[in-house]
Structure 1
Amino acid sequence: MRRFLGALAGALLLAPLPAAAQDWEPKRSAELQMLDKVTARVAVLRAAVNQPAQYGTLTITVRACNARPVGEVPDAAVWMEISDSRRPGETAFRGWMFANAPGVNMLEHPVYDVRVLDCK
């Protein structure tokens, strides 16, 4: 019985999601929550796709911003590149960040914290 339940659970994990659950809607801008850890200042930054936005010494370029369709659990996924003017030539962050799972992939920076709020 235990082997059967293990095989069933494995089959369910490998099964494709329904088409509606896989769809994400591309949006034109990201809404990001910025935290300056030194001053404890929190701000909301709106960054348009492919338009660099500044916050302190950071330059944030959103390459894609996708949101879940209406009727599904709200979530947002943002692909972004972040650089710091204090470290020219280095990329501080490049990848996806998710609104519902901020700890999955995050910026590791001594001064700033970035979280995804929404895509609009």
Structure 2
Amino acid sequence: MIRSAVLGLMLAAGAAAAQEGEILIVPPEEDGTLIEPERLPDGSLLEPDLDLDFVPDMQEPEEPQVTAITAGGAVVRGLDRMSGAVVDMQLATGETAGFGRLQITLGECRYPEGNPSGDAWAYLVIRSEREEVPLFEGWMIASSPALNAMDHARYDVWLLRCRISETAGGDG
């Protein structure tokens, strides 16, 4: 009953506004009463003062520049799902190591300057012994191995860290 009365009032207000050339849709309050729009003394509707040319001065936050150091090698871990064997391989840049039926070649390993034990990323090419086309070719990230992972039914391979030269404090 109340809903039909409110709807009737809304329709009547809309019809009156349509006769004046304006269409006015006014949502009801929670208790069902209508909100009356603000009007000027001459009876016209009060238009909000909007500055459509206003653009806030929003500067993009500057991201800190990270300088990457190229390491002489990397430590890569392999998992054979069939046997459960886990093998850590220490590869020098350009070196290829065998793991099961896979050939893993390290292209390059990099880590952030000032944080050698932090994140590392390495370019790896992984091939099956039987195929010429690589199973995986790209960058792997130590902190996010699933971000760019090798997809193989039997083997998992992921980067652990870069190998730091002996002059920088040992083999990391």
TM range (shorter): 0.7 to 0.9
Ranked by relative contact order (alpha carbons within 8 Å, sequence separation 6 or more), the top structure is 1
Task: Please say if residues 141 and 159 of structure 2, whose CA atoms lie closer than 8 Å, have aligned partners that are also in contact.
Answer: yes
Q: 1:29 aligns to what? A: 73
Match of 2:129 among 85, 89, 93: 85
CA RMSD of aligned residues (A): 2.1
Match of 2:82 among 13, 27, 38: 38
User: What is the number of equivalent residue pairs in this alignment?
Assistant: 109
Shift of 1:91: 0.8
Shift of 1:112: 0.6
Shift of 1:71: 4.3
Which string of whole-angstrom CA distances, capped at 9 and with x for unpartnered residues, describes residues 65-114 of structure 1?
0112234870110001110013x222100000001111100000111101
Kindly indicate whether residue 113 of structure 2 is the aligned counterpart of residue 69 of structure 1: yes
Shift of 1:50: 0.6
Q: Which runs of 4+ in 1 moved over 6 A?
A: none
Q: 2:157 aligns to what? A: 114
Kindly indicate whether residue 92 of structure 2 is the aligned counterpart of residue 48 of structure 1: yes
Q: Distance in 2 between matches of 1:104 and 1:36?
A: 20
TM-score between the two structures when normalised by the length of structure 2: 0.58
Kindly indicate whether residue 64 of structure 2 is the aligned counterpart of residue 18 of structure 1: yes
Match of 2:142 among 99, 104, 108: 99
Which string of whole-angstrom CA distances, capped at 9 and with x for unpartnered residues, describes residues 12-38 of structure 1?
3xx4x323xx21110011101110011
Normalized per residue, the structure richer in strand is 1
TM-score between the two structures when normalised by the length of structure 1: 0.81
Larger Rg: 2
